[in-house]
Structure 1
């Protein structure tokens, strides 16, 4: 007789029909079907085998998902039984997660709640606290095979062991008890296994243990000796991409999105394999993130399969690496620079050094990993690679509400926009044009450029880049020198007419803008772009300096009306909400040198008696100069160090004021001097020290 001979429930014909109607274990796609069949045999035994079954697998391999699907199958099978005669003892299961469990009473409570859902409900607990008594137990197991009892002391529950409430489990239809996450249990391994063994020794129960055995062995060398006394059969759960993916896609509420994603299992599986990643838990996150992205797309992009597939790739890759801890959602915008640095570092190393560096250096890791996800020939064309601006993707993953307006603007100029209306965007995708279309668009854009139709500096830089590239391809007879001369004249025109964007937004100096890489910026036109950027920076700086007195007056008004806006304008911060203000703030410009100290003091005194706001102003001024020696923004610190003179004049004005007037105490002056002493005076000392250090360094260099 087969040891696992199952009791008859369904005929083979019924079973085949049931399997065909189930999408949980699709034929040919579930790697773990054989384990399901073995568990079927195990739980259908008419007696307790006196040993447990272990389901092992790495973290994220789908162990918990597998057992939950199996439990659902048992529930469905129970529902199909039509008469009491067909009903077999033990179809129900008890499930206990040992994650974080540090006391046996927690396990008992979990079992009790499943046996008595009504009595253990929130209302019942509030009505009267339920306390289950524990009895001391002693399990005799010889660990070192010396013939002596090595003795484990632990507490066992009065549940299912044959005492008191014991018959509640064995006389019920609970035939399978499952202990999950055993490697994450905080109880010592020998004690928790000894505890579980009390269930293994029961008359009716079958026990399944789930865990990462590799992790257990690494932490508990004595585990193998204990295991052989309790666990009689071990099965390894393999990552089952197809079944897990099907389960995840069912959760997509948008039917159009669900139908499209359901066809992409092989595509996603390939990305997981390229990334050498087997944690199936991220499937749910990938699917959720993609549906969130899909729902905010314009209709024409929802029906663009090429775009959707590239977007799914970006979301899958980012989700994997974020879950892996190799990318921070809050720093996705820095990814292009990190991969570029990784390439440079990697090139300078020997083969042996490279292997070690991948594990130790995050930049090299990212370069190596993204080289696998994406073809090498476009690995540096980051914005085309990720279809949208990296800054937008950062907001998408790091914020609950991505910028819808920015998305639509980026999509408008996207390579995938089949309905692009702007002529320069169509020309940007010149490789998709026939000869007549190209000649028409080229002539039209060239004419509009000469007539100064374009006013957005980003668009203008893109068009200049196209001219550089066409020159390289021999499509434009003008020399690069002439193109550059025209570009300078265009920027001068913007400057003189007041149409030049004067914000400190540095995105214009990156290799992409509006989600599009600048044409030829990585090839023979690189130096032309660098020269062009210098022209733009010089023009912006000249215009901003002319307007700084006006900006300074505005800043004083903002200081008294909106303290938080004032802070965002003068301080550099890593807080995301305030970070967006950088493009228009003065964190790297000596704005205070354009303010008269007397005007500043008068504005401060106008706030009396709001001393909280006055203290906040002084606090944020101090925060403006908080820079580490190794801080990335040390250059900005050096740019505003000249404000020391302004601060010293403020200090002198405040200190010179008397706290008494006409034999009366002037509270406002006293409190102002207190704030000055707390914030400004220590700050001035530090800045003077810094200033002297810079002077000394400059002297040594000369």
Structure 2
């Protein structure tokens, strides 16, 4: 790799006064500087980075510094003596000025021509391109130097073309030396058992996928290797020992990471990737992507082609990689690639839910049907039969699983696996919800809280299988369930409030965690206006029944609860309640004197009053 550079570089280096510069180009991160310095040797070059330079003087100073590093150090010393005077023979003189004159006189020495000058990072120079090239040209025309300029592909392409014939006699492109780079990036892996184990298993896979990706940046390769190590470190030993499982997981992860880091994928592309790909394939098979209408003369007329999802385009690029695989959830894949977070528990749970580690008898029917494209017919038929039984006999009561059940009923109608229409299924799903509510089995939800299933449209690492054909039916089902959960919460609210008062009396810190934050996470009722409706006197009595040194715990939890304008949004139902509470505390404090009054006044600090009264 890059053997094509050796001869022209050798010929250029042997010229005394070439009269032109070489332009070295290549994609970002391809290793241009590394390759060039290896071919020429650092001892044969004066290396100058243009990164961040803002004037032509900066360029010339950096060339001088590269050629005369010792004199550069002396110049730095003279700067430190600026303003320092000495007296001798009745005269006063500035030490810095004297030294500067001595050094300055030596600056006028001829520019060295014994080595080639390399100007790197042309695209990162802060000076306009014409002035930068003009400054570089002085070393070619006036001093007869050999000069090489390194620049990313396509940077200021038009301006470079204008200057190319005058300044650059030859343009050479650096190609990524993938194998050599990989060895360099992983040479330290032998010192770490886990890293070395990973390298032996996946080096070929990484290199094969990198070639397929057509990504040119070796930096992306390096970052992806490091990402893979992080993923590998959170896996269980049984995962690592299952070769097929590892290939499926890492091929998906590596390809997705390459494409994301190269700017071809964003977070939204990976959300519901399975549904996007399968839906596109299904519509294509139904001739809904490329359909024909017939004119009076029976001539086919081509309609507009539907936009192909980006994830489908990427999937087609890597024909052997299962981008539909749920071996890692969409959320975990996004979190790892874009945020650098590798959730060990969630990732391992996803892997453990695959056919590699679970007997189909222990896998939920909805999970099997969700992966119908990767399941044998007998297992799939049994899962469909089981799902219908669960639907008929109302066996699924967890809200997230229930929505998967409902959406898969719609999906099976979509694929003509069952005969019911979308409207019939919607009616049956609503009755399912109503039946559970009447039996007191619907999970309660928080009042006025945005129903998170509507926002995320997923549960258990799987997105709800939704197609445009029944999207409106889906929205109505989610709304119906949301309302049923809200009513269930209201039904149980008195019992919950009694439990809150009891907790406030006997475990004030637990109370604070329930209504505020619990170990950095929102507490169970943090987004719930559950305090509204609790009698003020009863609340204060429970509060003040605790030892005095614990009273402020409640105040702090209420401050956290109501900050950031939350009384105007999700907790608006509590606004009048907190006002009444503060007013009652004020009345109690007025009935006391001295220390007792002060202790009660502290329970209603100005910040809390500001939240309540504005």
Please, what TM-score do these two structures have when normalized by structure 1? Answer: 0.59
Aligned partners of 2:373 and 2:572: how far apart in 1?
50
Q: Residue in 2 aligned with 1:54? A: 23
Instruction: Indicate the residue corresponding to 2:346 in structure 1.
Output: 406
Candidates 499, 522, 537, aligned match of 2:467: 522
* Secondary structure class of the residue paired with 1:49: coil
Partner residue in 2 for 1:71: 37
Q: 3-state SS of the aligned residue for 2:490?
A: helix
Per the alignment, residue 318 of structure 1 pairs with 260
The residue that corresponds to 1:537 in the other structure is 482
Within-5 A mapping of 1:35-434: 35-45=5-15, 47-49=16-18, 51-56=20-25, 60-62=27-29, 65-75=31-41, 92-102=44-54, 131=77, 163=106, 175-186=115-126, 196=136, 200=140, 206-211=146-151, 231-235=167-171, 237=173, 240=175, 242-243=176-177, 247-248=181-182, 251-252=185-186, 253=195, 254-255=198-199, 256-269=201-214, 281-297=219-235, 298-299=239-240, 303-304=244-245, 305-321=247-263, 327=266, 372-373=313-314, 384=324, 388-414=328-354, 421-422=362-363, 424=365, 425-432=367-374
3-state DSSP of counterpart to 2:571? helix
The secondary structure found in structure 2 opposite 1:593 is coil
Counterpart of 1:131 in 2: which secondary structure?
Answer: helix
Q: Contact 1:50 / 1:202 at 8 angstroms: preserved in 2?
A: no
Q: Give how far 1:257 is off.
A: 1.8
The question of 1:640 aligning with 2:571 is answered: yes
- Alpha-carbon distance change, 500 to 48 in structure 1, aligned in 2, over 3 angstroms: same
Superposed, which structure 2 residues align to 1:404-553 within 5 Å? Answer: 404-414=344-354, 421-422=362-363, 424=365, 425-432=367-374, 436-444=378-386, 446=388, 456-470=398-412, 481=424, 485=428, 488-489=431-432, 492-493=435-436, 496=439, 500=443, 502=445, 506-507=452-453, 511-518=457-464, 521-522=466-467, 526=471, 529-549=474-494, 551-552=496-497, 553=499
| Counterpart position of 1:360 | none
Question: How far off its partner does 1:43 sit?
Answer: 1.8
Deviation of residue 534 (structure 1)? 3.8
- Three-state SS of the structure 1 residue aligned to 2:213 is helix
CA contact (8 A) 1:108 1:157 kept: no
Give the conservation status (yes or no) of the 8 Å contact 2:249–2:328.
Answer: no
Deviation at 1:646, TM superposition (A): 0.6
Deviation per residue, 1:557-576 (Å, 9 max, x gap):
4875686875448xxxxxxx
> What is the CA-CA distance between 1:623 and the residue it aligns to?
1.8
* Distance in 2 between residues matched to 1:183 and 1:469, nearest whole Å: 52
1:555-634 alignment, distance < 5 Å: 557=504, 560=509, 566-568=515-517, 581=522, 584-587=524-527, 589-598=528-537, 600-601=539-540, 616-617=556-557, 619-623=559-563, 625-626=565-566
Q: Tell me the CA shift for residue 527 of structure 1.
A: 5.4
Secondary structure at the residue paired with 1:96?
Answer: strand
Distance of aligned partners of 1:601 and 1:225 in 2 relative to their CA distance in 1, 3 Å threshold: same
Conserved in 1, the CA contact under 8 Å of 2:400 and 2:459? yes
Measured after TM superposition, the shift of residue 183 of structure 1 is: 3.8
Distance in 2 separating the partners of 1:664 and 1:593: 30
Aligned counterparts of 1:667 and 1:559: Cα–Cα separation in 2: 21
Shifted more, 559-568 versus 407-416: the winner is 559-568
- Whether contact under 8 Å (1:246, 1:262) holds in the other structure is no
The alignment's C-alpha RMSD in Å is: 5.5
User: How far does residue 667 in structure 1 lie from its aligned partner after superposition?
Assistant: 2.7
Instruction: Answer yes or no: is the 8 Å Cα contact 1:502–1:540 preserved in 2.
Output: yes
| Structure 1 segments unaligned to the other structure (5+ residues) | 1-24, 76-89, 135-155, 273-277, 344-365, 377-381, 570-576, 628-636, 687-702
TM-score with structure 2 setting the length: 0.66
C-alpha distance in 2 between matches for 1:612 and 1:44: 81
Q: Distance in 1 between matches of 2:603 and 2:412?
A: 64
Q: Find the aligned partners of 2:146 and 2:552 in 1 and give their Cα distance.
A: 67
- Is 1:667 the counterpart of 2:601 in the alignment? no
Q: Is the 8 A contact 2:33 2:120 kept in 1?
A: no
Shift in alpha-carbon separation, 1:592–1:470, aligned structure 2, 3 A: same
Contact 1:383 1:515 in 2 (8 A): no
Q: Quick one: structure 1 residues 107 and 493, their matched pair in 2 at CA, closer, same or farther if it must change by over 3 Å?
A: farther
The secondary structure found in structure 1 opposite 2:208 is coil
Q: 2:25·2:171 contact (CA, 8 Å) conserved in 1? A: yes
Asked if 1 retains the 8 angstrom alpha-carbon contact of 2:400 and 2:458, the reply is no
Map Cα deviations across residues 476-509 of structure 1 (whole Å, 9 max, x no partner).
5788858964884588458847684757772377
Partner of residue 90, structure 2: none
1:657–1:669 contact (8 Å) kept in structure 2: yes
> Aligned partners of 2:484 and 2:396: how far apart in 1?
17
Q: Is the 8 A contact 2:24 2:150 kept in 1?
A: yes
Give, in whole Å, the separation in 2 of the partners of 1:663 and 1:111: 77
Q: Confirm or deny: 8 A CA contact 1:495 1:539 kept in the other structure.
A: no
Q: Is the 8 A contact 1:100 1:184 kept in 2?
A: yes
Change (3 A) 1:300 1:670: same
Contact 1:568 1:581 in 2 (8 A): yes
- Paired residue total: 534
Contact 1:133/1:157 (8 A) holds in 2: no
Give the secondary structure class of the aligned counterpart of 1:95: strand
Provide the rounded CA distance (Å) in 1 between the counterparts of 2:436 and 2:110: 91
CA distance in 1: counterparts of 2:357 and 2:596, whole angstroms: 71
